[in-house]
Structure 1
């Protein structure tokens, strides 16, 4: 199943066709995408027998599949080459920080640059379905609604400001969390695929999601051991090597740039900057 936010309404997507969830379910689910996630178990059962998607849709109407999560977790240094380029050994524990939900935007966004040190980080994003507290790693997949492509944009000047520095504000400007294009359920995508980021058609990041130090199940277990996870919560799982601030010389986003973020089997984001 592929679930989208189409003009603010939950929709099931098949190829170039869409099915409005609220209309097809006679108002039982939706139209708010968040209300679907709050009823995830019963919605997923209904969706398996839903009518086929038949209406063409405009991709320009796609918004963030999960527009208003209550919690957004993110993980630093979760690919060994990225840890190495940052000058660190692979961590023994997940390094978790937060992004604030107001930073989220959709798969075809134009983002205003708040400074001259904005960097890119393509990431796999996991979405919680049923949530839970102290979830065993072996049960984690059953708690997931699905996966999508994400970008953890970062203003490195703000991120490194202060002694010691802190991450969350520098990663939470408006538009600093592009996500989408759809939420893809675990039965359709098995957590393994090529992950790529292109800046103005130049490949700057390329890896496979199965290279993560801590996989999604382990991250869900480690985080939920402390924080109860809620339906619709997002988990940005870390980025591969190739970020701009570790290049020599450093490279940052500028007005007019286009950033394309892809994960095989999940789709792509296209973000422009002004």
Structure 2
């Protein structure tokens, strides 16, 4: 036991403390990755449950202008009204290309406005606006759209040309100065009557949990490696401090014989070449 007394020193206690702190940090990061995976699992389940569901009336899904629950995401709703002047949202990339989202406020019979995202448009030649903006159906239109939560505001806000920085529904309400559904908007699925020219519609999200589970396992492995490294360092110092001990010298000789037995002919030739070169 006296041979291992060195591990009781303050120096090795500090090394152990560092290994413990490192393991705790790895554990927290692993837990974070598992939590992110769980969010993906819930999101995938929500898409599977809602995306192809039968549409329900808007006022049933959102009984108030500020109604919205996370479980409502992707739920199809049906609403009838008249489109007002369309709005653009800038900096919306798709497939590596810059573009805009085209928003169309839909005024319903009770005077409230539901914001419909009619799709994506690529930037035009001057990059400050799309080349063309497809017109929305005129007159009364029945829209089926999938609910999405409103987005937070972004620095820069609405430009002088009236282009939004994000789908910030309270900002839309400010621009229109009308009662707007401020917690959720809709990704258009269909319009009746339909128009010939439409922006590029959104597509169904692919179920994907991401690499979070493998990352979680990696952080656990890193924690184990930390303790393994500490154990290796302790073992190396033990061998150094007890190099003259007969038992340790015998173990060192056995290790050397094993290494020698594993040498290949190529290793021997390389050693001969190196010794001849010197």
Larger radius of gyration: 2
Normalising by the smaller structure, the TM-score range is under 0.3
TM-score by length of 2: 0.25
Structure 1 or 2: larger helix share? 2
